[in-house]
Structure 1
């Protein structure tokens, strides 16, 4: 009867070697950090070293854990200690860390007890900046000026600003842009401006900004601003067509005026030249008509025409 109740327990014990090592846990390793600081800054790199005592079986693995849920496994071929370089890139790197090691050549490995705990505190980054766009509707006309302003809270003595488009940093001078940053020592020191003189298809997209503050001789990056979407407003087709028609009409009108002016000037010049006149002299019916072409300058005045010259016979005077 008692044996019957022990059978399930014995079955569970037979499975245990596949889950954990049947031997006692290895001694806890020594856990250290370098450099040691009360508070770390974003961008710092620390060395976490896990050192196992010298045992009969070689160490095959080291594992690092944090209370934030991260874990790192490092496999080694020989040696009794392992160093993991932790890059502090965000606030999630803060927390408590421990390490363990495993010995044994084949599965199941023998796990050690947990090491001492190391606490990493990360200093909060500079406050988030704000991003504004001019024109305010965040819609810029093609060929017009686009101005993006990044404003940081507070008034730090030294700052460096950065602008981003689609997550990639904008280098001053790229795509026709010109970045202006308020010089140190001037007021305000918390504003930077990204200026694009002529917006084009490359100007539309998602913009954000960030800045760095100098702390203990190091530049500490802030969190990035909220992203702002800028769209490009193309020129209306009807407006462009009307403009082209107006320009074309003005061109033809101007050419017409030039042609008419030239034509009348030429007519005036022709009227001033020496011209000839054709005089018609009436003859009795049956006689041929005689035309005479003379220079108008030699014609007699009206008073002279009233008196027939002496050389004209009385018979001819009746036709004059």
Structure 2
């Protein structure tokens, strides 16, 4: 298509061929990329117009810069535009057109993107808990792999070699809300001097939620030390308006029976009763709860731990009676002495008559705490006047020991019985009458002497 027939009839030589160039060094283009061909006549050539040809079919130029500078053909790469391009220019004379020879051919190849890779998440969850780790793996065969979040590239990595079923992973450690979004990946291969990318993988959505706040764990008793055989209840309370939730109890980190669950509009709680506690039930207790979100159970933080200590009752005290016979002596008070090993405890003493606890004033009585001279024993004395009505009966005592900031009761003493017979023959105790008449100061000191003498 270089020279017109009329020109050949006149014997005119064709004009020198123009040059045809691309606006880039690529020879392979992707669909929808812009391509520009520039046709330039030789310097000082007289030009009336330019023509472009694709496989010898004429294509009109989209832009004429100037007749001396050249013309451009701009097109969008697509399968129907691929092929071999040439161009020519022509000059108008009185006897017709004189056309140049065609330029050297420029080949344009349009390459479809590579197939999309496969993106997977491990572990695969409908929603992730803040702080968890998620691994995203892109499986493809290429020279490199790219990862995207919300369409923006976040990671690019060249692969060492082209291998079948090769893959590359990124790890999202301690995921947070800022890392939530739609993730995808792609790969590329080197071809004809450029990177040919793949289609993007199917996206994976990473949704992140925070754990619910920790519930509150409480004991039915203000202290955490219990006597073997007592009962205690642990209660776990949480704020939640979810209809799908559950409370879980843990002993020393191991899950145990959660007990009965109660739910209201904005709260959920459960109780764990421990009846007749034994040392196997001692330990550190905690609880948590879960709510269902996006088909997944989301556990809360653990509650603050609560410690339960189970101990045996403190040793049994010894209750002694003066007079030892249990027979009331006329004019003399009744003395009941509760004696306990001192050990390291602070102690509180209690007296009981027929199972009912006595306090100072009952039966006209007084209760005094007395320590022996050598400090090896600590005792308390219940003093009941001889004229007190109803002083006969069965007496016992016990004490509370102050252990680890908690008062722990001892076992009850053996029963001491006081009968109603009255005698005046207990001469060894006549001096106590004088002590009583002499006032409380002398009474206390006399009792100290008496008890120290009896216990020595």
- Same-fold call, TM > 0.5? no
Q: Which has the higher contact order (CA 8 A, sep 6+)?
A: 1
Structure having the higher helix fraction is 1
Category of TM-score, reference length = shorter chain: 0.3 to 0.5
TM-score, structure 2 as length reference: 0.31
When normalised by structure 1's length, the TM-score is: 0.43
Q: Greater strand share, 1 or 2?
A: 2
